[in-house]
Structure 1
Amino acid sequence: MGKSIGKANARIDAGSSKARRTSFIQDEKGMFVDGLESMARQFGMQRRRFGNGWCYDMPKSRGEGWVIQMSPEPGLFCVSAWFKVASKLSYTFDTDKPCMWLFSVSKGRITISGQGRSDRELKPMNQVVASPGTPITIHYSDEELICFDAMIVFEEYIHGRLLAGGGPETAFKPGEARLWTEPQINTPDVLLAMDELKWSIRKAVTPLPYYYFKCGEILMLIKRNQEQPELIDKRRADHVTWDNKQRIFKVKDAIDRNMLEPPDLSRLAALAAMSESKLRRSFKLVYGVTIAAYVREGKMQQAMRMLAKDEMSIRDIARACGYECAGRFSAVFRKIHHITPSQYRKSFDL
């Protein structure tokens, strides 16, 4: 996994306050920063080689799902996670080296605490967390799907390798990430770059130097947005008020509670107390996808869970997801996950 950077330990709190245990791990040199591998170990996840990286499988006793990590060089980690746990889990990333996390959250409640600040729940979009060298604790909710991708970068890696010799125009420190605004890190090109990163991690066939260049691309796109704000579209028509965002959040929750048979558009519009056209537009502005696309991807996420178990045939899973034609279901699944349902099931030796 490459040599470590900085002194660190990992801590986990699992379950309720009555059933909580805390563990510490540290290697023989007192150096242990390995992206999310220490978290995976503490969660009892089983490690296996996965293409150019590692996959950590959640034990059935704790839940289901996986974490895939690429660590091309010391100080740079690229992660994609998809799991669901029966009890709340917390993990403390404890390092004395400045670093930053760029999260791309798709689903689930993920809360960040530490750094002397109040708890912060990550929104379903690109979010940055910068550490000056102090502990960061990540809390994962229970009984719901957690799906996110992340890029973890240490300051000494940025200057010692990533942007070495780039001149003052590329100067960057993780602490500067605190000044980034949501619009600056959620422009279409940054979202696309993070999506490309996600699929490279999940397919695990791209040569490791790719992650070095992709990380630099993403950081420089954000730096450009910060220095040239006029490039960001600020049209009033694309603004969603705080009140309307709360209504859209309720709509998303209603869909998530019954993803396989979500309420129709008219019922969702009634829940949001807005017209169907305004609901469609507002939902896309908040989440970056249409309601139909969100439901379609959500059903394919549910399909992944069902395919991981040998309880239903692919045809039955297709019907459960609302597809009478198994071929159409397979086409949609492949378009979203870049793998066919049968290929995905075979990866579990089913």
Structure 2
Amino acid sequence: MEEDRMKTLRQCKYTSDASFFVSNYCFCHKKKADFLNLNPRESTGTGYVVEINPHEGLYLSYANWTPKINMERKYCILKKFVKLYFLECGDITLIQNGKKKSTIQHGVNLYLNKPSSGRVLYGSMTPIRYVSILLHEEYFDRISMAFPKDGLSLEDAFLWISDDYNAPEISKIFMQIRKKMIEGITSSMYYESKILEVLSLISQRHQLEQHNYKNTYLVISQDELYLLKSVGNVIRQTPISPPSIEELCKISTMSQTKLRELFKKVYGIPIGKYIQQCKLEQSLVLLSGSSLSIAEIAGKLGYANTSKFSAAFKRQYKKTPSEYRTTT
């Protein structure tokens, strides 16, 4: 039986996350309307994954499941694709052949398959929730023909690798997609409009970062740029309790004055404002994905009171937290 399973696995052509859940983890699967519903076996986990294929080469997934045991997924994928995903929570480690292992960060992540092989590790008893957008070459071919001047080919996408796309406006779109998938909405027009919105924002951010880099490369070395990116990633991963300025100086091996100066050159805003942006981005997840009251969210994010949180939220998103919650 195991030999038959491995034979099926080798023959399984990767098209989406469902390929792995069915072949590697033996998830039960059933088609309902336009959604593919996947559930882990009782012995290995609880929860579910849903997937929809609104257009050729485009797959959207929403996962909300908890492994009961440590799980490992080996992969060897021989085709190029781009995967964007918003990880709300989960203990997930990626080990690519020839590279150091990396813990998948909460928030918006970008994965480019070149092709490559490696392993994905899921930690036991830690809930995994994410929204995933998987784009194959045929989908990029379609949108690059429709919008030839917008830099949306697969080749363009593979230039995005060094950029930080964990931005509030992008996170918000992932939350909107999640809401519609949970509600069972199957509108291909809706999903495709959101994908184009995400890709447009990412393309714009990439172009802006390239412009900023050209203006700063004379004063910032590649090593310094790497360290500054590390500082930004640490803040992004711990928005509720971000490191102190002293800890950030240790990470960057810079003095406070130099760190503050170069951080602003690279990110366009001071460290303090970047931390506040990350807190507000985390509030989007808490407002749409938890039962916490607005007062509890304000306290969790370190605001002195609800009024200060609401004022900061409205400055950023042009609506109050309660208005946002009612529309997501």
The answer, yes or no, to whether TM exceeds 0.5 is: yes
1:15 aligns to what? none
Q: Are residues 137 and 151 of structure 1, via their aligned partners in 2, closer, same or farther at CA, if it must alter by over 3 Å?
A: farther
Question: Shift of residue 134 of structure 1?
Answer: 1.7
Question: Shift of residue 124 of structure 1?
Answer: 1.0
Could you report, residue by residue, the CA deviation over 1:52-82 in whole angstroms, capped at 9, with x for unpaired residues? 2111112221120111111123321111101
Question: Does structure 2 conserve the Cα–Cα contact (< 8 Å) formed by 1:112 and 1:119?
Answer: yes
Q: 1 CA distance for matches of 2:75 and 2:233?
A: 34
Q: 2 CA distance for matches of 1:292 and 1:202?
A: 15
Residue identity (%): 13
Match of 1:177 among 160, 169, 176: 160
2:131 aligns to what? 149
Q: 1 CA distance for matches of 2:211 and 2:32?
A: 39
Q: 2 CA distance for matches of 1:60 and 1:40?
A: 14
| TM-score (normalised: structure 1) | 0.59
Flag structure 1 segments of 5+ consecutive residues without an equivalent.
1-21, 233-238, 253-278, 301-331, 339-350
Q: 2 CA distance for matches of 1:150 and 1:299?
A: 25
Flag structure 2 segments of 5+ consecutive residues without an equivalent.
213-228, 243-271, 294-321
Match of 1:215 among 164, 187, 195: 195
1:166 aligns to what? 147
Matched position secondary structure for 1:149: strand
Q: 2 CA distance for matches of 1:121 and 1:94?
A: 19
Q: Are residues 115 and 168 of structure 1, via their aligned partners in 2, closer, same or farther at CA, if it must alter by over 3 Å?
A: farther
| TM-score (normalised: structure 2) | 0.63
Q: 2 CA distance for matches of 1:217 and 1:53?
A: 22
Question: Shift of residue 206 of structure 1?
Answer: 3.0
Matched position secondary structure for 1:170: coil
Q: 2 CA distance for matches of 1:289 and 1:175?
A: 27
Q: 1 CA distance for matches of 2:210 and 2:160?
A: 19
- Point out the structure with the larger helix share: 2
Question: Does structure 2 conserve the Cα–Cα contact (< 8 Å) formed by 1:58 and 1:66?
Answer: yes
Cα RMSD (Å)? 4.0
The one-letter amino acid of 2:206's match is Q
1:37 corresponds to 2:30: no
Could you report, residue by residue, the CA deviation over 1:154-174 in whole angstroms, capped at 9, with x for unpaired residues? 123211x23324224334324
Q: Are residues 100 and 116 of structure 1, via their aligned partners in 2, closer, same or farther at CA, if it must alter by over 3 Å?
A: farther
Q: 1 CA distance for matches of 2:95 and 2:191?
A: 28
Question: Does structure 2 conserve the Cα–Cα contact (< 8 Å) formed by 1:85 and 1:142?
Answer: yes
Q: 2 CA distance for matches of 1:240 and 1:31?
A: 37
Q: 1 CA distance for matches of 2:152 and 2:234?
A: 39
1:72 aligns to what? 54
1:312 aligns to what? none
Question: Does structure 2 conserve the Cα–Cα contact (< 8 Å) formed by 1:115 and 1:135?
Answer: yes
Q: Are residues 292 and 73 of structure 1, via their aligned partners in 2, closer, same or farther at CA, if it must alter by over 3 Å?
A: closer
Q: 1 CA distance for matches of 2:97 and 2:91?
A: 20
Match of 1:138 among 105, 120, 123: 120
Question: Shift of residue 144 of structure 1?
Answer: 1.1
Matched position secondary structure for 2:69: coil
The one-letter amino acid of 1:186's match is N
1:85 corresponds to 2:78: no
Question: Does structure 2 conserve the Cα–Cα contact (< 8 Å) formed by 1:100 and 1:177?
Answer: no
Could you report, residue by residue, the CA deviation over 1:5-45 in whole angstroms, capped at 9, with x for unpaired residues? xxxxxxxxxxxxxxxxx935358xx5612311222213222
Match of 1:96 among 63, 70, 78: 78
1:288 corresponds to 2:281: yes
Question: Does structure 2 conserve the Cα–Cα contact (< 8 Å) formed by 1:131 and 1:175?
Answer: no
